[in-house]
Amino acid sequence: MGLDTPAVRAVEGSGLEYRLVETGPPSGPEESAALQGIRLEQLLRTIVVRRGEDDYVFVLVPGGRHIDWPKLRAALGSRRLSLPDVAEAKEATGYERGAITPFGSSKSWPVVADATISGEHTVAIGAGARGANFHLDASQLLGLLAARVADVTRPG
């Protein structure tokens, strides 16, 4: 039997075409991209950001980039944003840090995707376990997640 996470179950029922790639937990994003045979920019991290009490958003950040907080605040129209601690992130998403994904989250939070993702054909996004990713079409991903696409990162 293959990987069974809420994310896998959610994607299986979505009609989205994907390939599940399992590498085992990597030491970092560069190793993860290399093990998956993709460029670092194709690897998406899902960062959960707190906008207020019980109010979160998922931010899709390509490898090699970091959240640009002033840009993200402007895109969301929020003056205050913060990163939840490990326990709060798990409570908000159902996932451990390092395995957070919008797919199969315990609650469906809005998704903001960095604008650079639109320029990719294939991207990799977490499948709900460390070292497991879905490889899929970027435009289909953004459409399925109803992601708001905005310039919210900077090179890093």
The structure's pTM equals 0.96
Report if residue 110 sits inside a domain. yes
Give start and end residues of each alpha helix (H) in the chain: 6-12, 29-36, 69-76, 86-93, 138-144
Report if residue 103 sits inside a domain. yes
E runs forming strands in 53-142: 55-62, 65-67, 111-114, 122-126, 132-137
Dist. CA 98–CA 25, nearest whole Å: 9
**Which tens digits make up the pLDDT trace of 110-145?**
999 999 999 999 999 999 999 999 999 999 999 999
Which range marks the domain in which residue 89 is found?
18-155
Report if residue 5 sits inside a domain. no
Q: Which of the four pLDDT bands, split at 50, 70 and 90, describes residue 153?
A: very high
Report if residue 4 sits inside a domain. no
Report if residue 28 sits inside a domain. yes
Report if residue 1 sits inside a domain. no
Instruction: Say how many domains are in the chain.
Output: 1
Give the CATH number, domain containing residue 129: 3.90.960.10
Report if residue 10 sits inside a domain. no
**Is residue 6 pLDDT above 60, yes or no?**
yes
pLDDT at 156: 87
**Which tens digits make up the pLDDT trace of 21-71?**
999 889 999 999 999 999 999 999 999 999 999 999 999 999 999 999 999
Amino acid at site 5: T
